[in-house]
Structure 1
């Protein structure tokens, strides 16, 4: 069985959800701030490009953009 790059899969999942909803990093920063999680566009870009963010950050982003379901079989 091939080794899975879970970091890349998680990063791709978040990027896909943002793209699906047409949400830029700037808009995500505004949405996160609106729910009490202050983030800058630059911080978000850095976290996502590295892929080294926490599960909590992933959930915060998904809540902020209004995601209610995820299809894990859509990511690679």
Structure 2
């Protein structure tokens, strides 16, 4: 299991955080709106919790997929050059 301070882990947590932030921006969705949309699918998060969780970047793959589903993102493009 990768350690939290492992550079590879930090790199991919940063990529996940940036991916989610970019999708939120592209869709024009605020953290408050994301909280509302997540609650519709049964996920209870406050705007403040979302801000903290996304800023840290250390969230689960399930959380990432829940957020992407809640904002209506059907596809994501990953680039090895970011």
**TM-score, normalization: structure 2?**
0.84
Runs of 4+ in 1 over 2 A off after TM superposition: none
TM superposition shift of 1:46: 0.5
Which residue of the other structure, out of 67, 71, 75, is the alignment partner of 2:77? Answer: 71
Unaligned 5+ residue runs, structure 1?
none
Superposed CA RMSD in Å reads 1.6
Larger Rg over CA atoms: 2
The alignment status of 1:9 with 2:15, answered yes or no, reads: yes
Higher relative contact order (CA 8 A, sep 6+): 1
Tell me how far apart the structure 2 counterparts of residues 26 and 74 of structure 1 sit (CA, whole Å): 31
Residue-pair matches, total: 74
Unaligned 5+ residue runs, structure 2?
1-6
